[in-house]
């Protein structure tokens, strides 16, 4: 489920990162990640004990020592939050996103200024019980720019 949210965020970012030009733009981000370290189990080699007697069957002596460091499964509770803002009035790239995860529950929103002048705002949440749910709303009125039609120009060539 987390992978779907990340893929969705990457697709949104990739589609909006197509215009690169020089100009005045602002961008900010904040990422908080809680890391948990995992210890490695240790192994010890013990020399086999030699027993001198007259055994009936010759078999190697097997010795197994329990590790003094027991392996415990540790569940790392995933928890993070991040946000970013981009405001580039030269290219019209204005967007923001905020997301929080606590365990298997992810909530967040993003806003994006569309080329037609509207602002798309998406509030989403995801968990194991309900899946991914998004509420999409559009603010503002769409203003479509009328295409300019040019009459074909015929060039006169002299041979």
Condensed to tens digits (0 to 9), the pLDDT of residues 76-132 reads 888 999 999 999 988 888 999 999 999 999 999 999 999 888 999 999 999 999 999
What is the enclosing helix (H) or strand (E) of 123? strand 119-127
- Higher-confidence residue: 64 or 71? 71
- Which range of residues forms the domain containing residue 132? 2-16+76-139
How many domains in the chain? 1
Question: Which residues, at least 6 apart from 149, have a Cβ–Cβ distance to it below 8 Å?
Answer: none
| Position 128 in a domain | yes
> pLDDT digit string (tens) for 4-54?
778 777 767 766 666 555 556 676 767 776 666 555 666 666 777 766 666
For residue 8, the model assigns a pLDDT of: 78
The residue assigned the tokens 């923001």 is 96
Output the pLDDT for position 67.
Answer: 63
Domain presence at residue 150:
no
In a domain, 80, yes or no: yes
Its pTM stands at 0.49
Chain mean position to CA 101: 11
Task: Please give the distance of CA 74 from its chain centroid, rounded to a whole number.
Answer: 23
CA 83 to chain centre: 12
- What pLDDT shows up at residue 17? 64
Which pLDDT score, from 0 to 100, does residue 40 have?
60
Q: Is 28 part of a structural domain of the chain?
A: no
Please tell me the distance from the alpha carbon of residue 16 to that of residue 112, in angstroms, as a whole number. 9
Give CA angle at 23 (17, 88), nearest 5°: 50
With respect to residue 37, please indicate whether it lies within any of the assigned structural domains: no
Kindly state whether residue 152 falls inside one of the protein's structural domains.
no
Say if CB 123 and CB 109 are below 8 A apart: yes
Residue 110 lies in a domain: yes
Distance, in Å, from the CA atom of 62 to the CA atom of 15, rounded to the nearest integer, reads 63
């Amino acid at each position: 489920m987390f992978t779907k949210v990340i893929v969705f965020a990457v697709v949104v970012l990739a589609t909006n990162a197509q215009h690169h030009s020089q100009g005045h733009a602002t961008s900010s981000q904040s990422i908080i990640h809680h890391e948990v370290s995992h210890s490695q189990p240790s192994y010890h080699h013990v020399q086999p004990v030699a027993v001198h007697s007259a055994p009936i069957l010759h078999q190697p002596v097997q010795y197994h020592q329990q590790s003094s460091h027991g392996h415990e499964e540790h569940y790392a509770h995933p928890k993070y939050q991040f946000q970013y803002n981009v405001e580039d009035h030269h290219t019209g790239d204005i967007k923001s996103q905020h997301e929080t995860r606590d365990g298997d529950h992810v909530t967040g929103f993003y806003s994006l200024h569309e080329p037609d002048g509207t602002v798309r705002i998406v509030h989403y949440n995801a968990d194991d019980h309900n899946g991914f749910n998004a509420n999409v709303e559009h603010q503002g009125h769409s203003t479509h720019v009328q295409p300019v039609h040019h009459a074909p120009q015929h060039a006169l060539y002299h041979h």
